[in-house]
Amino acid sequence: MIIDTHIHLDDPRYEADMEAVLERAEAGTVSRFVIPGADATTLGRAVALAEAHDHIYFAVGIHPYDMQQHDSLDYAIYAAHPKCVAIGECGLDYYRLEGSPEEKAAEKAEQQRVFREQIRLAKRCGKPLIVHIRDASADAKAILLEEGAGEVGGVLHCFNADAQLLSLAEQNFYFGIGGVLTFQNARKLVEILPKIPRDKLVVETDGPYLTPHPHRGKRNEPLYTTYVVAKMAELLESDEATIAALTTENAKRLFDIS
């Protein structure tokens, strides 16, 4: 059994064949799915999917690219839902900063404000965080520590292979491993994977994005976590059944799901 801990099933690219996507996943032993909250405009669809399927869960949050939605989103309503298992996808992403130095600094400050507020919400709700970090490891780590995020823990989604983040395992953070692991240019992630505590590894797709080899260029879907598990087993000198069972138990513990 495999749990896809980060799959955007609320994305319009799944609407036409949602049931087929889920059937293929289950036939391939992928049995649970967590939809991260990233865009408030699709959050209602995430909730509807979770309500319609026992094996689908969701999180509520705002991605750094959509932080302008933060102040108008009523987090409390969604966080109280019985199928809501986390707060996020939240975090910092400095990759696309544009404008003058002053404008970039202002956007960084706003991302940090929104990130801190979502961490505080997670602590109030007692739910783990789904954390997005891109080109912002030092600031993200500092904020997580300053805000005491270890109280609830969470997952570093699409772990960026930055060694300075490994110590967050001691703060009850897990590391989301996805299709990037199968890419030919994934040298850093390949090298750092064995250094991650095994009880802190979880599997994800980030579908419809980051499709693993040999399906790069196509829409990603939960079934393809099997390629990630296979690559993890190879690199950790284990077998696929062991890695699937290990990451499943980790995901259940992280999100408190059965």
Q: What is the CATH number of the domain that holds 174?
A: 3.20.20.140
Domain that holds residue 232: 2-255
Taking only the tens place, the pLDDT of each residue in 172-192 is 999 999 999 999 999 999 999
SS3 category, 60: strand
Distances (CA, A) of 185 to 194, 227, 231: 17, 16, 14
In this prediction, residues 100-113 reach a mean pLDDT of 96
Return the residue matching tokens 């692991």.
Answer: 181
d(CA 69, CA 73): 6
How far is the C-alpha of 43 from the C-alpha of 238, rounded, in Å? 37
Segment 197-233, tens digit of pLDDT? 999 999 999 999 999 999 999 999 999 999 999 999 9
CA 240 from centroid of its chain's CA atoms: 21
Distance CA 242, CA 43 (A): 34
Q: Is residue 171 over pLDDT 90?
A: yes
Total number of domains constituting the chain = 1
